[in-house]
Amino acid sequence: MKFIHTCLLCCIASSWAHAQDTTNTWQPSISLDAEPVPTLAVSNKTDTSYHNSLSLTSIFTLKHRSGWGISYAPGFVLSSSKLQLYVQRFTIGLEQYDRPNYTWVMDYAHDFFTSNSPLPYIPLNNEGYALFKYKKISLRPVVEADIGWGRDSSAMGKMSYDLNFAAGIEYAFQWDFHQAALSVTPSLLGNIGTDSYFFLSRIAPYISHSKGFIKYLKNPHYAGSRGAVQAGRHIVNMNINSNPDTTSVTQVSSGLNRMQFNNIATGAELSLSWFSWTLRSDVQFFIPVSSSATHTISAYFSMTCEYDF
């Protein structure tokens, strides 16, 4: 890990130092992202409860002008009045946001979770993500897909997967000022997925950023989930990232759950750019439409401040 950190920082420093000579072939940037994340509290060794805490993530990115890039993002959670590192995410892939007719993103991310994390156990530590937007018409079609995978320690190391798809439309309102640009982009998307595991999915933040995430899990990997109550079996007690094997397991559901139409997501992204600074805010509301849904509307928000060198 120290070697990877050193190499990444050296690449960013080198490209920054030679930016003028290479006509900005490489573009380093740094950003700070704030969003909610559920944390786990265990009392009497069996009782578990969840509440939303503030997650702060620093993102260091090095991107080629062709769109290829790599980023390193350590994530901290505000727990017990102190910041605690819970994940380090490395991402590599292709991102083309500035094309006149389309936006295209395809990347891979790997998460290194730390020991003694206050988050619930996350069994999936890999994510493949793809996004496409067609921008030549006013109502832009949007299509997203992601797959998460990893070995579930609570299921004797079984390789586990989760799939999510989203599709819909968005409309961008844009205003250009003398030295600044403002855009507001409302969207309406339908979400289809397996929602079998708790993991840091970019398409399904209603799971990984909500204290009520167990309501959405179709596979009963967590005690108290809807599936555990309905099935009356396959119960797995809550584990913490630091030691998922210490909690007893009676039985774990096997295989991947079928795809379901889960919810309608409506929201908006606000972006304000001024010179090299960009401030983005994303707000989404998720309206459940699944026939087995017993939960109410959930909300998600994030705030990001970015500086491009």
Q: How confident is the prediction for the chain on average, in pLDDT?
A: 81
pLDDT for the residue numbered 267: 95
Q: For residue 1, name the pLDDT band (cuts at 50, 70, 90).
A: low
Distance spanning both ends of the chain, measured CA to CA: 25
Mean pLDDT in residue range 276-305: 86
pLDDT given at position 256: 57
Question: What is the average per-residue pLDDT within 243-257?
Answer: 40
What sign for the dihedral angle of Cα 203, 206, 210, 215? negative
Q: CA 248, CA 229: separation in Å to the nearest integer?
A: 18
The pLDDT-based confidence of 291 (bands split at 50, 70, 90) is: low
pLDDT of residue 97: 85
Q: What is the pLDDT of residues 6-57, one digit of tens each?
A: 455 555 444 444 444 445 788 999 999 999 999 987 777 777 788 899 999 9
- Structure tokens, 28: 């380093």
Kindly report which listed range (256-260, 266-270, 299-303) carries the lowest average pLDDT score: 256-260
